[in-house]
Amino acid sequence: MANSLCSLFVREYSHANGGPAFHQKAATSVSVEEQILLDESLHWLAMYDDPDPGVYDQRPSKETLLLAQYAVRARKWEQLLRARTEASNGNETPDPSDPAHRNPPPMDYLPGMAAEDRRNSGLILLMLLAQAYYRMLECTISMASWFTALDLKLNESYFWIVENITNLLKNHEDLKDFPASFAPLFPDLYPSTISNLDWEDMVAPDAERFLSTIQRYVQSKGIYDPEKGSPAWIFIELFRPAVTTAIERAAAYNKRIRQHCQREFGSSHQDAGEGIQAGGNVEASGLFKSGVSQRKESTSVKESQNTMPTMPTHQFNPNRFRQVEELLDIEYEKLHEFERAFSLADGISQKIALRQQVKRDLTPRLRTLEQEYAELLAHGVSDADIPEPQAQMLVAEVVAAVAKADEQKPSNAPQDMVRLLGEIRDKLNEPGKSASAKLKLSLPIIPLISSYEMELDTEGVLTAAWRKARDFFKTLLGNRP
């Protein structure tokens, strides 16, 4: 019984990285006092068997609700296991090698989850996993023609994403009619597997076709946001942290490779970061691109400086633009919750803890998405479509905001923030360029600096400038023929 319960918990809740872990322990090895305390804890958890936190006078923590749901599922599983044991004449659970018993436990084990909620939560999870799968491929393969690096954590997340997409499509009863079979494009993201691949011509078509198939399928079925605290919501939230981690690891890998390229090719942004870190040796995999072919001839770094003075940025893609907007809406909702909690915080210690949580859990993701969004906006609007008088006004406002942010920055301001302030000043003061050109060049830098304002709890002058410039470019993009 204990073995079966542990196996079920591992199957349902453990990630590819092994967490959370579930173990059994013989009751005879536990003292009577410990057994009493454990029984008391289980009795106390039974008070929170309703997954809706709104029904309780004192709102329990997410961890408490999750433990309570563990207890609910364990009781249900125990009943089902005992019924199976009795049906098999007192023997243990039937041998899983028997084909009749190979099917996984049905997903309606989640307590209180109606069939419609089960269908809806499965579709939402499928879309989340598919977006993470696409993003991981894009971040790694788009740089593979320049350099690659071995990143074990990245591959760990890739294996987890692929395994869960496969299992979801295979085992979820409501997804049996998915119109395509899923086979990952690559078994792993090791350098020997992805080096010399070209994203746009070799990989993107298949990756985008899969994501498009998922999106059309999910939209044709219809989905809705599950009620917060419901079993369906808990089911999705159990997967969300690992999905977010996978996307963040892919974005961090992409950033490290870009920074390494900038150093190798003598870019003006040599101080943009630490580059390739311990745990991943960089392997050259074709320094130049000519159409879809990769030139692998031995060429000096001096020649490469003349061939590729700057790194490529995000070209405008309407589909990706909409995806980033949707992801940003999610992150802005999280930010709103943090701001609300900050305003209600009682003391300094609570505010410090919240600020640290924003810095750790929200800012990196928001910074990455806003920078990509700004680059897409800048590439989506040509200089000729930007009214020069309005551009001059916006440039003047950004210049003033930069000056004020520089004055207000604390003495221990992050070095990256100081560097970015200097970089945007240089672009805004560059001689011989129109206001529209200066605005486009500086647009991707503004949200990077404004994210530090949120961490440091300063006045937010650049955050206001970023929102104004963002809305200005969105309006121009909407007027584009």
- pLDDT tens for residues 365-402? 888 888 888 888 888 888 888 888 898 998 899 999 88
The model's confidence at residue 227, banded by pLDDT at 50, 70 and 90, is confident
One-letter amino acid identity for 291?
G
Number of separate domains in the chain: 3
Token duo for residue 44: 């106390």
| Residue 88, number of CB atoms within 10 A of its CB | 12
Tell me which of 276, 307, 338 is where a domain ends: 307
Residue that has been written with the tokens 């490779």 in this structure: 257
- Model's pTM, two decimal places? 0.39
Claim to verify: residue 55 and residue 30 sit in the same structural domain = yes
Separation of alpha carbons 402 and 295, rounded Å: 42
Q: Is residue 314 situated within a structural domain?
A: no
pLDDT at residue number 154 = 94
Which amino acid is located at 204 in the chain? A
CA distance 151 to 139: 13
| 3-state class (DSSP) for residue 386 | coil
395 lies in some domain? yes
Same domain, 35 and 143: no
Residue 357 lies in domain: 324-478
- Residue 133 in contact with residue 165, Cβ under 8 Å? yes
43 and 64 housed in the same domain = yes
Same domain membership, residue 133 and residue 252: yes
The chain-wide mean pLDDT, for the chain, equals 76
Determine the average pLDDT of the residues in 133-156. Answer: 91
Number of other CB atoms surrounding residue 299 within 10 Å: 12
Residues 6+ apart with CB under 8 A from 72: 49, 111
Q: Residue 403 domain-assigned?
A: yes
pLDDT score, position 19: 62
CB neighbourhood size of 464 (10 A): 14
Q: Are residues 383 and 462 in the same domain?
A: yes
**C-alpha dist (Å) from residue 471 to 327, 403, 451:** 17, 22, 17
Nearest alpha-carbon partner for 234 in 118, 77, 105, 361: 118
The tokens describing 166, both together, are: 């496969």
Final residue belonging to a domain, choices 75, 105, 135: 105
Whether residue 316 is contained in a domain is answered as no
Lowest-confidence pick of 2-11, 39-48, 175-184: 39-48
Choose one of 273, 307, 341: the last residue of a domain. Answer: 307
What 8-state DSSP symbol labels residue 225?
P
Residue 282's pLDDT is: 38
Under the banding of pLDDT at 50, 70 and 90, the label for residue 166 is: very high
**Any idea which of 44-58, 224-238, 328-342 has the lowest mean pLDDT?**
44-58
CB 407 within 8 A of CB 467: no
How confident is the model over 278-301, as a mean pLDDT?
Answer: 33
SS3 of 294, please? strand
Quick one: what percent of the chain has pLDDT higher than 70? Answer: 74
Q: Which residue has the tokens 């079993």?
A: 231
